[in-house]
Amino acid sequence: MKKTIGIFSSVIMATSLLAGPVVQAEGNLPNDKNEFTYIDEVELNDTFSSANQTLSNEVIIHGTFSESDKDYYKLEVTGEGYRDLSIFIGQLDGKRTEMKMDIALYNSDKEEIHPYQSVEASDGQFIIKPGTYYVKAQDLTNINNGERYDLLAYVTEVPEGSLFIREGSDRYETAARIAMQSRANGYAENIVLASGEDFPDALSGAPLAYHLDAELLLTQKDKLPKSTEQALKDFKTKNVTIIGGTGAISEEVENYLETKLDINVDRISGKDRYATAAAVAAELPQSDKAVVAYGKNFPDALSISPYAAKNKMPILLTETNSVPEATEEALKSYKETIAVGGTGVISEDVLEDLPTAERLSGKNRYSTSVAITEYFDWERPAANIATGAGYADALSGSLFSAKLGAPLLLTTKNHLDPSTKEYLENNHKYKYNLLGGEGAISSSVYDDVIDLIIAKK
């Protein structure tokens, strides 16, 4: 059956508007003139291999969820270059439902692809290359009440230049919002909890969170912030891993999580920041390579965090002129190392003591973040930008960057750093994320990115 509808147009555009992109080129999204063919779901389709229907721009799937049901559909994307994919699952009849409908996207290797934008668990926007993909649809509440759902996947050319601001009222709410975005507003059984007041123990958080398929949230030492608590409830979190000792996150917070929120709590810590980083490394899968960063400042470690996380490399910490005992012992498990930062933070003597070491550095923290980005050369046409003056937003953004496969670049507060600006001028990016509010990144940086986008049109 064919029917002319326009509801998906308003839904998809609302996704963009609610997230606050300030530059959005027009795309060929569904509109009031589009005709869609309705197709009923064909069971069995509860695994990748049993995905028996193919989504397209002209098709809307009518389906239902039985108990613990997951419905898989195939998506074939053709053409050249990157494509913008919008997926929506909902009810076209406009009726209220108790279902919490959720979608997820996977590539041909069954690896999940995270959205660059979502407003609800029922929608997502992705940047993808031509190829074969799978869409998983499910009801997270598992009501099994026979209600129908409608599913649409729509592929267009990537709009040129979209800017998104990921911010909250403070670092805790910013971290929660970035995490919700990363999770496409679905559930997160596991959470890694780090200090929002001091950086040392938090630096190794992204690789651990990535390994645990967790999100990364922040807390005060003696009190769980309301925004963090609400995120844990929204995520329906079952397990929290605290990074750092009671000097960073107190027993009061740990007890509150266990007794008030009924969450299982584990803590990874050592006698100092170096031992804590080594303890986190011990929880990660075996790898031949480790990252070594300066332990008394945060920028270099955070700039490389997305790459370390995605490549399953731990982040170990060092002094400038000596390798701490805990780090030295941990390094015995690795054949190669990447030292991050110049000789001002990691001396040549220390570099020589590291296993088969390679140094990545620039003249300052900003050019170092660019050097790291150029070294790993991720092709993803998106970039995340955070302040280099504070660690909290960059820490939250490091895991988001790893999941997107997008670089994390640093900037000064009052203008886009020249090194970062030059990199963005010379590398085509379709999506830009500013991480943090005006207290971290001023409107001048926002204007600089807008000017950069306009100049490329």
Helix (H, G, I), strand (E, B) or coil at 456: helix
Do 178 and 127 belong to one domain?
A: no
Do 170 and 30 belong to one domain?
A: no
Check pLDDT > 50 for residue 351.
yes
Q: Which residues of 150-182 are buried (b: 16+ CB within 10 A; e: fewer)?
A: bbbbbbbebbebbbbbbbbebbbbbbbbbbbbb
- Number of Cα atoms under 13 Å in the Cβ half of residue 176: 20
Check pLDDT > 80 for residue 403.
yes
Dihedral over Cα of 224, 225, 228, 234: its sign: positive
User: How many domains does the chain divide into?
Assistant: 2
**Mean pLDDT, range 231-251, rounded to an integer:** 96
Average pLDDT, the chain: 89
Q: What pLDDT is attached to residue 181?
A: 87
Where in 288-335 does DSSP place strands (E)? 289-294, 315-318
**Mean pLDDT, range 174-199, rounded to an integer:** 91
**Mean pLDDT, range 410-436, rounded to an integer:** 93
Do 413 and 338 belong to one domain?
A: yes
> Domain span at residue 117?
2-159
Do 171 and 77 belong to one domain?
A: no
Q: Which residue has the tokens 């649409």?
A: 152
Q: The whole model's pTM is what? A: 0.88
Q: What pLDDT is attached to residue 10?
A: 37
Prior bond of 44 cis (ω within 30°) = yes
Do 84 and 182 belong to one domain?
A: no
Do 291 and 391 belong to one domain?
A: yes
CA 354 to mean position of chain CA atoms: 30
Do 438 and 344 belong to one domain?
A: yes
Give the H/E segment covering residue 156. Answer: strand 148-157
Do 109 and 182 belong to one domain?
A: no
Q: What pLDDT is attached to residue 182?
A: 84
- Structure confidence by residue, pLDDT tens digits, 291-342: 999 999 999 999 999 999 999 999 999 999 999 999 999 999 999 999 999 9
Do 153 and 297 belong to one domain?
A: no
* Cα–Cα distance for residue pair 171/427, rounded to 1 Å: 29
**Mean pLDDT, range 123-145, rounded to an integer:** 91
Do 35 and 144 belong to one domain?
A: yes
Residue 217 domain flag? no
**Mean pLDDT, range 58-74, rounded to an integer:** 94
Do 139 and 172 belong to one domain?
A: no
Residue 236 domain flag? no
**Mean pLDDT, range 191-205, rounded to an integer:** 94
